[in-house]
Amino acid sequence: MSRFAEDVYRLVRCVPVGRVISYGALARALGHPGKAREVGWALFRCPSDVPAHRVVNREGRLSGGWAFGAPEVQRLRLEAEGVRFSAPEQLDLERYGWQPVESVPFSGR
Partner DNA sequence: CCATTGACGAAGA
Partner DNA sequence: TTCTTCGCCAATG
Residues interacting with DNA, by CB under 7 A? 2, 22-25, 34-41, 43-44, 46, 52-53, 55, 57-59, 63-65, 67-68, 74
To DNA, the closest distance from the beta carbon of 29 in angstroms equals 12
Nearer to DNA, 64 or 96 (CB): 64
Nearer to DNA, 66 or 101 (CB): 66
To DNA, the closest distance from the beta carbon of 108 in angstroms equals 25
On whether the CB atoms of residues 14 and 5 are closer than 8 A, the answer is no
On whether the CB atoms of residues 67 and 97 are closer than 8 A, the answer is no
To DNA, the closest distance from the beta carbon of 25 in angstroms equals 7
To DNA, the closest distance from the beta carbon of 36 in angstroms equals 4
Nearer to DNA, 49 or 107 (CB): 49
C-alpha dihedral (41, 13, 82, 101), degrees to nearest 10: -100
Nearer to DNA, 69 or 108 (CB): 69
What does 14-53 look like in DSSP terms, one character per residue? Answer: TSPTT-BEEHHHHHHHTT-TT-HHHHHHHHHT--TTS-GG
How far is Cα 98 from Cα 25, in angstroms, rounded to an integer?
Answer: 9
